[in-house]
Structure 1
């Protein structure tokens, strides 16, 4: 990959988006943005109370992430965002057409175990079922790669970087 992509590190809660995102950004030599920072206080309060977000809650959040990705077009960047539904990824692509996705995927039991050991995060393990129910994996016509979350953060990051290097260069 010579021209930096804007990469969205996606997946259900607990897959390591906040861990892998900065590592991948460092590996690619581009800035990182934490997707959770784009959430409104109302969204964070809702999730903290164990209530899943609905699409009306998510649209402004996705639009803010899409605007960041648009500003990074041609420059590269990495942002974490669950991007669980195809319609969410379509909305991000509408803002930044050359965005690519790294879907951090793994076994539910492994992800739940990781979530149960997190401290200070607003997303409770009780919402994991709703996350998996909502998840629509990347489709063949979507620019991106799926990466298994087994292993150390460094191993996962290396797998993601290798997979991204096989993608076509962005057109922006």
Structure 2
């Protein structure tokens, strides 16, 4: 995919339309949608998730289910608590995802014999086999994003930093 070059800071955004030369300049501290980091994050998240949808449809997964599978492909046999921690999901959100994945035959939930309150989530044979088909997903998404390896690393670093800072305060 062709890479899109970004304009230099201060350069008008061609997609934003031509500014009205007679319009008053925005006041300092104006609440402009285009200036909000939250909106840029929201729009990017929606665009990326939409790119995932057709790829994940081929695997029979939703995006949140794909995240669960990624965590289990990385490290099988996780407790529900550890899985929720890795995905930053509450148990009330994770439980229905696991139920649907279990119904699809991709995972199984087992109560630990030594502690009935603790549930371990394991991949089934079908869940493990799905990993091979899923290998193309990150490659296709990477191509769609059109970032260099350096830009990709920088974006991930900045997003992790942002998440750490926001959740710490």
Bucket of the pairwise TM-score, normalised by the shorter protein: under 0.3
Greater Rg by CA: 2
Structure having the larger proportion of residues in helix:
2
| TM-score computed with the length of structure 2 as normaliser | 0.25
Q: Which of the pair has the greater relative contact order for Cα pairs under 8 Å at 6+ separation?
A: 1
| TM-score between both structures, scaled by the size of structure 1 | 0.25
